[in-house]
Structure 1
């Protein structure tokens, strides 16, 4: 048995020989990465520069866009280098660093969406008390907690994995995955599995549940209010719900693939499902909010047209 600290590298076995299509795949991934960077940076700049957008809702959005940059940067450069390489290996420190980035990105995504739903709940259900409830100090604290809690939770997860004794170093994925490394262990993994379920609950299931509860209360207030109130609530909440649904579906694909045998599913489809959340979500989120929220859309048009 070998301790995980003595494993110098991991082999990513999900890659197949792409042959002449290698440059095409590289250009496709690179184009997607450039689009993600461009869309998220544009919206971050728009929110930071315009004082009219210095409101809690847009600050939470800015935090969401920063997280999209963070998560995609933890994956795309790695994918691009692996596509060009003929030997699909990754050093152990880099592998665990990628696990930290990918997993913390996922946790921040759901906690951020949950915080945004709480903000919309206060704004729509308690409009008169909103400014006193959602102060700038409280907004800053919520953003810090949105990032700090997933960071701490994932650090503990990785530290538990580092203490395992491994009997192999082959991961059947195109990027590093914590559960795949845990399955390589020769030692007892009960603590890892229990904590993994605990982290999944508090970083994904719990925020999703809070988000749905918030929106159920919002809908109840909207249907009992005026037509103008309903229209305003729908235009504000639709992007949040769409982003949550997309993120939940992507995470569900990944959890099912990690926890259950997927040998009957073609390898290409497994790769696409495992990459869906990490590749489509960072582009889907800024495009969705940029198109659906009229205030952001109008300012983006002025920025792109060169107007001051």
Structure 2
């Protein structure tokens, strides 16, 4: 039975409070421990103390912790909303954004830059150099998604059948993974380590420019996604039924796929490949019997942010002072949870 509007508001309130608590705790914990009083003082005062220790803590908070925890929230929201869009578009609760090659393509684009290194003369220009890696990852993601879409659309004579897209996605994912593996094999040790670390995901290089980019894309992308919520609700009845209701299914597929690519590519270009967020989060919300894509998109944004902030906090503290790649943690936690969901709800046959 569909939950009442009051219960939905309660769910959102709980998620919002959980996100706030997770952000504060994550900003507090780390190699340099901060107190709640210090965090409150940093946020409420524009002038700093002359105490060297206080100044160090202030620098840690504003230059390292705050952009990192906010970037975690933005990436988590982007990946979770992308998963919701894909599951609604394919009408399949076990579809994930990486299935159409977006993440694998981004990883391949980044690997090319890691291996080429200083051979790109313009990559050493300060402004351009900072954009080379994310730009390459973004282009790789767009190329992989475009190839999947073109192959599946050709197979469907202008339309994009779900089966054709899934098969094309598997092939492109394998191709991109093979390319990344080849580059890792021929790379020097430092380059190979960079490729490996990128493929596992990390927020260690988080900064304010990265946050501005991902935060803006996530916010705008989320608002655009909400505009398609009603059309995606109609699509759950079937393509023919949606067309009878006046929905241009092909145009909807094009736009949702482009939006999905943008969300996943920007997130992956910034922090690397992080799996299972877009797969598990929407399904966890469906356990609360949320079926309207508008509420699913809003809820997935909040829950995805909460889960990734918590995951990153664990990843950087569990083996401190070393840092565990967050992709490893999300895979270790996400895979068993998803297998449990498959067993509990018996949806394995839907894949």
TM-score of the two chains, using structure 1 as the length reference: 0.32
More strand by share: 1
TM-score of the two chains, using structure 2 as the length reference: 0.29
